[in-house]
A and B are shown apart, each in its own frame.
Chain A
Amino acid sequence: AQSVTQPDIHITVSEGASLELRCNYSYGATPYLFWYVQSPGQGLQLLLKYFSGDTLVQGIKGFEAEFKRSQSSFNLRKPSVHWSDAAEYFCARSGGYNKLIFGAGTRLAVHP
């Protein structure tokens, strides 16, 4: 079955440190892949997406993600985290029939 796994439930980093959030997807065919961010009490905002082509994709707010077919991964990275990046991050893949399949999310805390 199609699924998305985010192995890290919580991550804490210091402000200015680098960040990598992990995401793995199941099922062989290359899906469309997305990263969304959700601040408390808010909806989801799209950070970036991968459909095809260059496996390193740039997004908003200084985020990037790399698609690795061999590892079925789509990890999100940022070289220097800001306190405002504290939020919940969801990785998602396209499913059948216009659906999105979400991972369980990773909650990011940023220490000053």
Chain B
Amino acid sequence: DAMVIQNPRYQVTQFGKPVTLSCSQTLNHNVMYWYQQKSSQAPKLLFHYYDKDFNNEADTPDNFQSRRPNTSFCFLDIRSPGLGDAAMYLCATSSGGAEAFFGQGTRLTVV
């Protein structure tokens, strides 16, 4: 029973072409996160939502945006992907203060 679902699992996009990654959850958690993970590195938090409150990390580039239209869904928009944005993008949820549940990730390739 998948609880945090990310689509697609693999995404190829062209340099500079906007791309959207999606995440849905069946846990009804109020917190949703987006992490970027580059090869052989720890996940890096980009931003998170506490309910509808958006919290951006200070070093997250403006090129990355997010939307959360309802409790279940969250989107990551990359407005103009560069080669350096190629990474695994992980969505996670939590009920606040407890452990995070991760999706399977979306592997983004920029060509």
A109 at the interface (CB under 8 A from B): no
Q: Tell yes or no: A100 within 8 A of B by CB.
A: yes
- Report whether A97 and B55 are in contact in the complex, using a CB–CB cutoff of 8 Å: yes
If A44-B90, A90-B42, A104-B41 touch, does A98 touch B96 (CB 8 Å cutoff)? yes
What is the predominant secondary structure among interface residues of chain B facing chain A?
strand
* Known A-B contacts A98-B48, A103-B42; A45 and B102 likewise in contact (beta carbons under 8 Å): yes
A-B contact list, 16 entries, CB within 8 Å = A32-B97, A32-B98, A34-B99, A36-B102, A42-B105, A43-B4, A44-B102, A46-B99, A46-B100, A90-B42, A98-B96, A100-B92, A104-B41, A104-B42, A105-B41, A107-B40
Please give the residue numbers on chain A whose beta carbons come within 8 Å of chain B beta carbons, in ascending order.
Answer: 32, 34, 36, 41-46, 49, 90, 94, 97-100, 102-105, 107
User: How many residues belonging to B are interface residues under a CB distance threshold of 8 Å?
Assistant: 27
User: Assuming A32-B98, A46-B99, is B45 touching A100 (CB within 8 A)?
Assistant: yes
User: Which residues from A are CB-within-8-Å of B18?
Assistant: none
Given contact pairs A44-B90, A98-B48, A107-B40, a sample of 15 additional A-B residue pairs in the complex whose CB atoms are under 8 Å apart? A43-B4, A43-B6, A43-B104, A43-B105, A44-B43, A44-B92, A44-B102, A49-B99, A90-B43, A98-B50, A98-B96, A98-B97, A100-B33, A102-B42, A103-B42
| B68 part of interface (Cβ distance < 8 Å) | no
* B residues in contact (CB < 8 Å) with A: 4, 6, 31, 33, 40-43, 45, 48, 50, 55, 88, 90, 92, 94, 96-105, 107
* Contact among B31, B50, B104 for A42, CB-based, below 8 A: B104
